[in-house]
Chains A and B, each alone.
Chain A
Amino acid sequence: MNIDAWLKSNTFHHSTFWDLKQLVDEKERQNLKISLCIPTLNEEHTIGKEIVIFRSELMTRYPLIDEIAVIDSGSTDRTLEVAASFGADTYFSGDILPSQGFKRGKGENLWKAIHQLEGDIIVYVDADITNIHSRFVYGLVAPLLYQPETQYVKAFYDRPLAFSQGIRPSGGGRVTEILTRPLFSLFFPELTALMQPLSGEYAVRRKVLEEIAFPIGYGVEISHLIDVYTKWGLYAFAQTDLDKRVHRNQDTRDLGKMAFGILQSFLNRAQQLGMVDVKSEVSSILRQFQTREQMFEQKQFTIVEEERPPIITVDEYREKFHA
């Protein structure tokens, strides 16, 4: 297993890449275009700050990224208005590739972005980060610029500033540690080396993005990792420590829904790869319970992890990028 060697060669801290001028020079030398996609759904409170920081720091001061696009699933608040007021290109996901229809979900936005944006590298950054900083982009782009073999760079968040005992636990959020890492330990042990496999911030080369399928919901990150791993191997990945990410805390019930979607996508992949054999059809209903007037009652949530195919299979995409 390659984990130790990979951790050593492909795990970075964003501070390694502080020299933005050098990054811009490298990008220009390779004649690359870099696009930033921010998928949104009702993020009016945080989107303005993200746009301003990225435009100022990574377009005006150091021209590392060439375009910023907000791709929205149908916000009912002022997300798109705020984003546009600060100069982002804004799109309703349903208006991109209309022939393919519209499905509501973050994965859908990420998938449509591949068609809409022009970059050779696409960086995805979630819109709910309250401590946004340009490192959230340059920290992820840099390994792609400096290591040609790296295809997919994932963010993780650690704060190794002070710890009294020399050894300290490091890892991801609750769903990662309770569900994803145990699953990876069982079926894809090398992928456990990704500290936060579910983080919503990553930078990927177009040639990889166009070859992988996109679940439209919670399963998009885990299926990406499995697909890229099985196709290109562990060394296609790198990961960058971006220090601290402050965002909304989700309650346990929401994490339950997330875990349910992730598990669906995982089982789907594991079955395709012949690693598990699920004999009967599994339910797509998540059941959670609550009490009303001292009686227990169930709440049912239908969560179906629909999937978009690799976009290279879409005619309009091929006409635009591979004509």
Chain B
Amino acid sequence: MNETMKNPEDLRKLVRECRDLLLANLVMTAETASPTFGEANRVRFLLDRFRESGLDNISSDEVNNAVGFLPGTTGDKTVAVVAHLDTVFEPKENHALSLGPDRVKGIGIGDNSLGAAVLVTLPMLLRHLKFQPSYNLLLLGVSRSLGRGNLGGIRFLLENSSMKIDQAVCLEGCPLGRLNYTSVAMMRGEIAVQMPDEYDFSRFGVYGAIYRLNDIINRILEIPRPSRPQTSIVFGSIEGGNTFHQLAREAKLRFEVRSESDEVAGGILQSIRGIIDEVRARSGVQIELEEIAWRQHGGIPFDHPLVQISREVMRTLDISPQIGPSMSELAALIAAKIPAVTLGLTQVHNVNTLEETVEIEPMFDGIAQVLGVLAGLDAPHLNAQGVTP
């Protein structure tokens, strides 16, 4: 580790010197629409930037991941820095950013345009800091992370890449202090209730799709959820019907089951399937459960060197760690037995809304933190450790 990387003030100062480059990359990244499954334009921008930065083995693949490689001085291990490229916003939304002295406002900026922008700026930051790691650095802009993407980009890479990844650092825009090293078991699903075409709506007392969905929700709420292992069911979105006075023909519920146990999450899912089967059989209504995304429970221990280094760097930079499980790229890495942490980069407000805003000043700490962790990983005594089952 060079001396600059040990001194937080020097590190912050050097990062701040790259402010324009970083903000310009942030503007260009965030203004390139990148909905899940539609990341191609953002990928092109990343690849151009990787090329201009002189990275090796720059490539994309059939699911639109962007890959760049920076060989280490010894190259005896490979560390991946990962940021997902997709946002929840469609191209038709106004992607123009507004940049003020303290804040940047624009859709998708915190989740996760900032992570992608830091990823493309990383080679320049390393050069500015005169830090060349001994290990190989693999920069991964991954697609298809959110919602129905179900971590498709990182999973494709892990299943198909011949390159061995020893450790990984995932970048998320928010919040600064975020430190994830475990993933929870998770299943996201959508329950769609559809009244049959021949259903006789003229009969007094018949029930529409919303009533049936409500019945299902009440039944799901009756499923026992243990406090240990911690388990929850989140109802994230509901929609159905069009008017005040007509019974709804369709209704949809999007939900998520989370648990510290794969078995418990699986059991709840099984119960939900049973409820749906029963309501369907009893009512004659068409009800479908679509399982959209899943994660396995797992993680690395608290005393894993990667976590220790992250905590130590955060302490040095006066960043309060916010420890919790993650359901983003980290989950796929952990499932593939690759030790990984997720770090947050700044404070974000109104995330995933049209008013999404990030603060500029904390970014410098957030980026200094990433560089500090990368420097810490250069310590010769560290090797990849195992993952808790």
Residues of A within 8 A of B (CB): 44-46, 48-49, 52-53, 55-57, 60-61, 81-82, 85-87, 130-133, 246
Asked whether any CB of chain A lies closer than 8 Å to the CB of B323, the reply is no
Q: Nearest chain-B residue to A57 (Cβ)? A: B24
Inside 8 A of A81's CB, which chain B residues have their CB?
101
Interface string of B18-32 (1 = CB under 8 A from A): 001101110110010
Q: What CA separation (Å) do A221 and B31 show in the bound complex? A: 30
Contact B20 A60 (CB under 8 A): yes
Q: What CA separation (Å) do A134 and B27 show in the bound complex? A: 12
SS of A interface (majority) = helix
Contact B96 A56 (CB under 8 A): no
Contact B27 A86 (CB under 8 A): no
Inside 8 A of B336's CB, which chain A residues have their CB?
none
Extra A-B contacts (15), CB below 8 Å, given A55-B20, A86-B99, A130-B96: A48-B100, A48-B101, A49-B27, A49-B98, A52-B20, A52-B24, A52-B27, A52-B99, A53-B24, A53-B27, A57-B24, A85-B101, A86-B20, A86-B23, A131-B96
Inside 8 A of B27's CB, which chain A residues have their CB?
49, 52-53, 132
Contact B23 A56 (CB under 8 A): yes
Contact A49 B99 (CB under 8 A): yes
Inside 8 A of B28's CB, which chain A residues have their CB?
53, 133
Inside 8 A of A61's CB, which chain B residues have their CB?
21, 52
Interface residues on B, range: 10 to 19
Q: How far is the CB of A123 from chain B (nearest CB, A)?
A: 18
Q: What CA separation (Å) do A277 and B362 show in the bound complex? A: 65
Most chain-A CB neighbours within 10 Å: which of B24, B28, B31, B101? B24
Residues of B within 8 A of A (CB): 20-21, 23-25, 27-28, 31, 52, 96-101
Q: What CA separation (Å) do A48 and B100 show in the bound complex? A: 6
Most chain-B CB neighbours within 10 Å: which of A49, A55, A57? A49
Q: How far is the CB of A318 from chain B (nearest CB, A)?
A: 36
Inside 8 A of B52's CB, which chain A residues have their CB?
61
Q: How far is the CB of A212 from chain B (nearest CB, A)?
A: 34
Q: Nearest chain-A residue to B20 (Cβ)? A: A56
Q: Nearest chain-B residue to A47 (Cβ)? A: B99
Contact A48 B31 (CB under 8 A): no
Say which residue of B21, B96, B97 sits within 8 Å of A60 (CB atoms): B21
Q: What CA separation (Å) do A132 and B96 show in the bound complex? A: 9
Say which residue of A45, A86, A131 sits within 8 Å of B98 (CB atoms): A45
Q: How far is the CB of B15 from chain A (nearest CB, A)?
A: 15
Q: How far is the CB of A286 from chain B (nearest CB, A)?
A: 32
Can you give 9 A-B contacts (C-beta < 8 A)? A46-B98, A49-B98, A49-B99, A52-B99, A55-B24, A56-B25, A57-B24, A61-B21, A85-B101
Q: Nearest chain-A residue to B48 (Cβ)? A: A18
Q: Nearest chain-B residue to A84 (Cβ)? A: B101
